[in-house]
Amino acid sequence: DAGVTQSPTHLIKTRGQQVTLRCSPKSGHDTVSWYQQALGQGPQFIFQYYEEEERQRGNFPDRFSGHQFPNYSSELNVNALLLGDSALYLCASSRQGPYEQYFGPGTRLTVT
Amino acid sequence: GENVEQHPSTLSVQEGDSAVIKCTYSDSASNYFPWYKQELGKGPQLIIDIRSNVGEKKDQRIAVTLNKTAKHFSLHITETQPEDSAVYFCAAALQDKFYFGSGTKLNVKP
């Protein structure tokens, strides 16, 4: 049983560009949450998708958007990249409700 | 929203000793408290969790306790081993949003 997978592993972008990160949830999971983890800090909740809709959102600007597909996979899009967007972006999958979230390995985004 | 504080930020123990990491949360409506272990270059790995209707849970060398009145919960690792060295995060779930602590870097010296 494959766990949560994310692509790409690493990404380097220039300030002002746009980026798309991808996530495939663990088998049997229908909910995907995205987190931003700055160096030396805990993950910060960006948003959560269930039934192809954004259900919850953290304190992130509209430059951060997402999508969930019918097969439960998800994308995170970030527009107008800032240097401060450099971080590890983590995807976590779960069943809907207060259930265990399992994380993928993350995508390391560097904005220059 | 919820605010989770975690202490200590670093912890160094001798192999075989016990390690304790403590977290506090601010919103009494939080109902689920997982603990994650994160190794360098990897995503967080769920190691144990506890729900608000339970006071203690144990899984081999790892245990978690929850005090709802005081709004704090703790991770206990007994008989530590070098492979326990990692960064540990606590989290509190409020309305399906997970709020994480700032992490504890555990170093187990052989």
Q: B-chain residues within 8 Å CB-CB of A39? A: none
- Helix or strand or coil: residue B110? coil
d(CA B92, CA A4): 21
Give the lowest-confidence range in A18-22, B23-27, B40-44, B102-106: B40-44
pLDDT at A41 over 70: yes
Which of the four pLDDT bands, split at 50, 70 and 90, describes residue A76?
very high
How do A107-111 and A87-94 pair as beta strands?
Answer: antiparallel
Task: State how far the alpha carbon of A100 is from the alpha carbons of A26, A70, B93, in Å.
Answer: 12, 22, 10
Pick from A4, A41, A45: which is nearest to B98 by CB? A45
pLDDT of residue A92: 96
Q: What is the mean pLDDT of residues A53-67?
A: 95
d(CA A102, CA B43): 9
* Interchain CB distance below 8 Å, B43 and A4: yes
Q: What is the mean pLDDT of residues A77-105?
A: 93
* Interchain CB distance below 8 Å, B98 and A102: no
pLDDT of residue A62: 96
pLDDT of residue A6: 97
Residues of chain A in Cβ contact (below 8 Å) with chain B: 4, 33, 35, 40-45, 48, 55-56, 58-59, 90, 92, 96-98, 100-106
Q: Quickly list DSSP for A40-95.
A: TS--EEEEEEETTEEEEE-S--TTEEEEE-TTS-EEEEE-S--GGG-EEEEEEEE-
**Residue of chain A nearest B31, judged by CA positions:** A98
pLDDT tens figures, B67-90: 999 999 999 999 999 999 999 999
Nearest CA to B89 out of B23, B14, B20, B18 is that of B23
pLDDT tens figures, A26-35: 999 999 999 9
d(CA A28, CA A107): 23
pLDDT of residue A98: 65
pLDDT tens figures, B4-27: 999 999 999 999 999 999 999 999
pLDDT tens figures, B48-57: 999 988 899 9
Q: What is the mean pLDDT of residues A74-87?
A: 98
pLDDT of residue A1: 63
